[in-house]
Amino acid sequence: MVKKKSLAQRNAEKQKRFRNKQKEEGKKLIRGYITPEAQDCYNDIIDKTQWKDSEVLSNALRLTYAAYKCGQIQLLTQWLKEQER
């Protein structure tokens, strides 16, 4: 008699495959998978500021929001594109 996998088991296996694929692409889970370039930036921020992970995320969101509210989001986006490695 062949046992069928439960829905929870199938979902868990699917999530595991997704996580493994992201790791193989060199991405790290912080609050989502990030590129190796973004991880370098993250590590620099941690080293220079001694902020915790949640502080880095919070401040990054606040800075992005401030740029948006000040009408500078296009300038920020352009700068980020120019700085790509």
Residue pLDDT, tens place only, 57-83: 889 989 999 999 999 999 999 998 898
Give, for 55, the enclosing helix (H) or strand (E): helix 53-69
pLDDT tens track for 3-60: 678 999 999 999 999 999 988 988 877 677 888 888 999 999 999 999 998 789 889 9
CA-nearest of 23, 50, 45, 47 to 34 is 23
The pTM (predicted TM-score) of the whole model is 0.60
Tell me if residue 33 falls in helix, strand or coil. strand
What whole-number distance in Å separates Cα of residue 38 and Cα of residue 68? Answer: 20
